[in-house]
């Protein structure tokens, strides 16, 4: 129960109410002390009236008056004259004097706390104004033990009452929270569980019904999320079925085209000039078709594992990429430049970054080769406070406008003739797996620059 929202709300409410009562307790006990002293002054003034009425009082009557007033002596000032009205022996020296005519509230609270903290009995002098214009001032001496006992009794009653009020208030708030907040939240949780069990069932989508504005906004946001997710799951299921069908068709078509490719190899040996002239075009068309089928199957099987992040020297990986590209395609017209600083260390998956950079370098190489000109492919990198930046630049002719619209979309972002556009789509997916981005920085007649941004943080908060 204590780990629940309502249980913790119960505890916090009790604590805060008790804290508020403690803050009220200090001025309350100070006011009680002041009233206690004023009452003693009033009793002493009433006792002194008996002396004013009869100048000759017996010692026994005077002692009884002082005992009823709970004071040792009474001094009354009337008509600019100071007169000792009643007196008795004082058991000890006066420890302090308190003038109730001038004390401020914070002084009264301070004196009250000091009295509670002082257990020994003392004799104090108290000065105040007589009631009903009975004089200019009245002064008494009294002991503190009865006053402190009365203050403790009053304080205990206040604390007990505060505790009862706190518990009752907390319990009522507990019931209110369970009724108006916890119960609707549990309803939302139940809806989310039902939806998680059958997200394709539209009946499990929440229907906003909360009366609390904030909770209703949460229900409406959840409803929108569930609706969009259900739609996306249905669309994904259709795409998965379509992808499975395309994969089967591509597999069978690849086998057929492979057989046709074998036949075209024999056609190239024909003596017929027309056949020999058309055979290369036929072979090229069949080769592109086989490549498209293989690319489709590879993309359909792609389930990239999560990257294994390690620190490595980027220049070494870039060197392996450029060397691999130069060996795979012998082309003296293209120069490959590794401009990565030798000591630059990055946190990434070396194998996946090799594939990403190789794909960008190969695309740049093919762009220059397709233009039939001499060019350069350069790989640069730099380090900033929050990210590593890797650039792959070429001096090729730039990307056509149609390629920019769906550059990182599979089967739509192909640039060269016969390309499928899968390379950039897979590369962007690998970079996103690192928490980074792959983007086209610029392109034009002067060349194209792709940029990779890898975050330096590990993603933890």
In tens, the pLDDT along 70-115 reads: 888 888 887 777 777 888 888 889 999 998 888 888 899 999 999 9
Sequence-ordered strand ranges (E) for 73-224:
73-78, 81-86, 94-99, 123-128, 137-143
Which band of pLDDT confidence, cut at 50, 70 and 90, is reported for residue 460? very low
The per-residue pLDDT for 418 is 46
CB 407 within 8 A of CB 414: no
Predicted pLDDT of residue 169: 79
- Which SS3 state, helix, strand or coil, does residue 309 take? coil
Let me know how many helices (H) and strands (E) the chain has, helices first. Answer: 11, 12
* Mean pLDDT rounded to a whole number for the chain: 80
Name 414's Cβ contacts closer than 8 Å, sequence gap at least 6.
403, 420, 421
Q: Note the pLDDT of residue 124.
A: 92
Q: Which tokens go with 62?
A: 């005077």
**Distance between CA atoms of 201 and 195, rounded to whole angstroms?**
8
Contacts of 111 (CB under 8 A, 6+ apart): 30, 33, 98, 103
SS3 209: coil
Q: Cα(first)–Cα(last) distance of the chain, in Å?
A: 30
Provide the sign of the torsion angle of the four alpha carbons 400, 402, 407, 412, taken in this order.
negative
Domains in the chain: ranges and CATH: 5-167 (no CATH), 213-301 (1.10.287), 310-455 (3.30.565.10)
Give the pLDDT score at 345. 94
The answer to whether residue 316 scores a pLDDT higher than 60 is yes
Task: Quick: pLDDT tens for 216-254.
Answer: 888 888 888 888 888 777 777 766 666 666 666 665 666
Q: Could you tell me where the DSSP H helices lie in 302-410?
A: 314-328, 350-371, 401-405
Residue 298 has pLDDT above 60, yes or no: no
CA 429/CA 405 separation, integer angstroms: 17
Query: Residue 374: what pLDDT?
Result: 87
Q: Do residues 369 and 332 touch, judged by C-beta distance below 8 A?
A: no
Cα–Cα distance measured from residue 318 to residue 254, given in angstroms and rounded to the nearest whole number:
34
pLDDT single digits (tens) 352-370: 999 899 999 998 998 888 8
- The model's confidence at residue 289, banded by pLDDT at 50, 70 and 90, is low
- Residues 300, 292: Cα–Cα separation, whole Å: 12
Q: What is the pLDDT of residue 311?
A: 93
Q: Which of 51-60, 218-227, 228-237, 335-344 has the lowest mean pLDDT?
A: 51-60
Residue 191: pLDDT band (50, 70, 90) is confident
Cβ 357 vs Cβ 391: under 8 Å:
no
Alpha carbon 31 to chain centroid, angstroms:
46
Q: What pLDDT was estimated at residue 153?
A: 93
Q: Which residues, at least 6 apart from 140, have a Cβ–Cβ distance to it below 8 Å?
A: 40, 41, 44, 69, 71, 72, 73, 74, 75, 125, 126
Residue 13 pLDDT > 90, yes or no? no
Q: Give the separation between CA 365 and CA 423, rounded to whole angstroms.
A: 14
């Amino acid at each position: 129960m204590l780990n629940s929202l309502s249980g913790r709300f119960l505890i916090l409410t009790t604590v805060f109410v008790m804290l508020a009562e403690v803050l009220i307790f200090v001025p309350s006990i100070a006011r009680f002390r002041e009233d206690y002293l004023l009452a003693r002054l009033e009793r002493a003034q009433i006792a002194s009236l008996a002396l004013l009425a009869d100048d000759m009082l017996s010692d026994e009557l005077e002692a009884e008056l002082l005992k009823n007033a709970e004071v040792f002596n009474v001094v009354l000032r009337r008509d600019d004259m100071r007169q000792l009205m009643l007196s008795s022996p004082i058991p000890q020296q006066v420890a302090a004097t308190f003038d109730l005519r001038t004390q401020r509230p914070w002084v009264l609270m301070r004196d009250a706390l000091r009295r509670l903290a002082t257990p020994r009995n003392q004799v104090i002098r108290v000065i105040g104004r007589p009631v009903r214009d009975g004089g200019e001032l009245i002064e008494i001496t009294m002991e503190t033990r009865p006053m402190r006992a009365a203050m403790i009794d009053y304080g205990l009653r206040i604390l007990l009452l505060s505790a009862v009020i706190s518990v009752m208030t907390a319990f009522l708030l507990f019931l209110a929270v369970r009724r108006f907040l916890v119960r609707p939240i549990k309803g939302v949780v139940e809806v989310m569980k039902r939806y998680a069990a059958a997200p394709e069932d539209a009946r499990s989508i929440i229907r906003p019904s909360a009366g609390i504005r904030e909770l209703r906004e949460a229900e409406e946001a959840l409803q929108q999320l569930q609706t969009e997710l259900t739609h996306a799951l249905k669309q994904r299921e259709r795409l998965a079925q379509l992808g499975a069908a395309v994969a089967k068709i591509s597999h069978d078509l690849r086998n057929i085209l492979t057989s046709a490719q074998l036949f075209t190899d024999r056609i190239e040996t024909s003596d017929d000039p027309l056949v020999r002239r058309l055979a290369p075009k036929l072979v090229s068309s069949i080769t592109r078709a086989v490549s498209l089928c293989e690319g489709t199957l590879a993309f359909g099987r792609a389930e990239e594992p999560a990257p294994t992040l390690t620190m490595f020297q980027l220049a070494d990986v870039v060197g392996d990429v450029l060397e691999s590209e130069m060996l795979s395609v012998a082309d003296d017209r293209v120069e490959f430049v590794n401009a990565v600083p030798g000591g630059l260390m990055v946190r990434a998956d070396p194998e996946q970054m090799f594939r990403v950079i190789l794909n960008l370098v190969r695309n740049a190489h093919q762009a220059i080769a397709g233009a039939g000109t001499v060019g350069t492919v350069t790989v640069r990198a730099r380090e900033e406070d929050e990210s590593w930046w890797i650039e792959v630049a070429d001096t090729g002719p730039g990307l056509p406008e149609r390629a920019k619209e769906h550059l990182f979309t599979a089967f739509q972002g192909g640039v060269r003739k016969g390309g499928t556009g899968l390379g950039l789509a897979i590369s962007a997916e690998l970079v996103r797996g690192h928490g980074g981005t792959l983007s086209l920085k610029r392109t034009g007649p002067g060349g194209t620059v792709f940029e990779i941004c890898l975050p330096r943080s590990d993603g933890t908060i």
